[in-house]
Amino acid sequence: MTNKINRRKFLINSSAAGLTASLTQPLQAKIPQINNSNVKPVVIASDNGYTMKNGGTTNCVETAFNKIIRGDDVLDALIEGVNIVELDPLDASVGYGGRPNADGIVQLDSCCMHGPKKQAGGVAALEGVKTPSLVAKAVMQHTDHHLLVGKGAQEFARNMGYAIEADLNTENSREMWLDWKRRIDPEHYLDPVKREIAGRNAAIEMISEGLIPKKEYYGTINCNGINSKGDLCGVTTTSGLAWKIPSRVGDSPILGAGLYVDGNHGAAGSTGRGEANLFNLCSYLIVEEMRNGAHPLDAGMTALRRIKENTIEKRLLNARGLPNFDVIFYIIDKLGRYTGVSLYAESDADTPFQYAVCTENGSALKDVEPLLSGKSS
């Protein structure tokens, strides 16, 4: 006959067994979590989070901040903020009107992370949807996956009710693609090596001629925020590298690269050369540094030094033997401390790299803290 144990005896026996086991096991040190319920809300983003308004009166960081202090979920607020940039045809690095790939097709990437819920979602090489950040959130909310790509991501978006546009190019993005195309393929040659070299050289020419800003060549907006309860979230969205090989995926939709959030310690996201960030998984590195007690500025500098140390190919080095590109990180810790850091102080246009921030004092652009002096060229 089977012995029956009532619930009360089971709980007592289980508790006693657990206590005995804990007394016989060696104690392991735990890294303390920061719990602060009196943080001042803040939203930070790449500079287009300040400059782009899509014909409205408020920008990305202002929109997100106002919703956060109203009590909205932090991630919902951030995504509503970046939607402004995704839908703005004047920003050629994100969403509608973003730089197309080598075939003239706009393919979009995005990911988001919810610190308190410990959830994440992303999409890559998504065509036809102007707001990939919303589809990334849908992946987080409605699937057991973290990343959907290409046709599968588009079909998922369709099933979730998102309109699929035939073409996300604007007149400007198509005109710049045609200009690039004419430069790289004047004789319709088929040599892939020549085509790759010509494509890179054409982009450099167009940047030097002022046809496109260098930051639009790499693209992207990252936006991170924290509320007064200490809830941390983040989102990154991009059209990716201008005129990229079709289906190329950079760092933006990859957890740990284009974005990483640990709700107990901090958030970090990036813009700039995605391949350099992907190789080093810098957003994850930054948050891990903050987990170990580093200030956001020190954590960011650690990541930038890692990129510098691992950049050794001659084609990626300037005349000084330093990286000929830039990467910028936007960082918040659990205490609400924030910063923006970059490899260099200035862009090739001799203007300082900046990031957007919104606090109780309003929104502003602030200069980033550079690892290296001068600029990448």
Domain segments of the chain: what residues? 42-372
Euclidean distance between CA atoms 288 and 267, whole angstroms: 10
Q: Which of 291, 273, 374 is nearest to 331 (CA)?
A: 291
Q: Which two tokens stand for residue 325?
A: 């590109």
Q: Structurally, what CATH architecture does the domain formed by 42-372 represent? A: 4-Layer Sandwich (3.60)
Euclidean distance between CA atoms 153 and 149, whole angstroms: 5
Instruction: Please identify which of the residues 220, 236, 237, 238 carries the catalytic annotation.
Output: 220
pLDDT at residue number 211: 81
Euclidean distance between CA atoms 98 and 339, whole angstroms: 27
pLDDT at residue number 351: 84
For the entire predicted model, the pTM comes to 0.86
β-partners of residue 238 are 109
pLDDT at residue number 183: 86
pLDDT at residue number 346: 84
Helices (H), the chain: 7-24, 48-51, 60-70, 74-87, 132-142, 150-159, 171-184, 192-208, 214-218, 274-280, 282-291, 296-310
pLDDT at residue number 265: 98
Residue 311 is a catalytic residue: no
Element spanning 112, H or E: strand 108-114
Using 50 as the pLDDT threshold, list the residues of the chain that sit under it.
1-35, 189-190
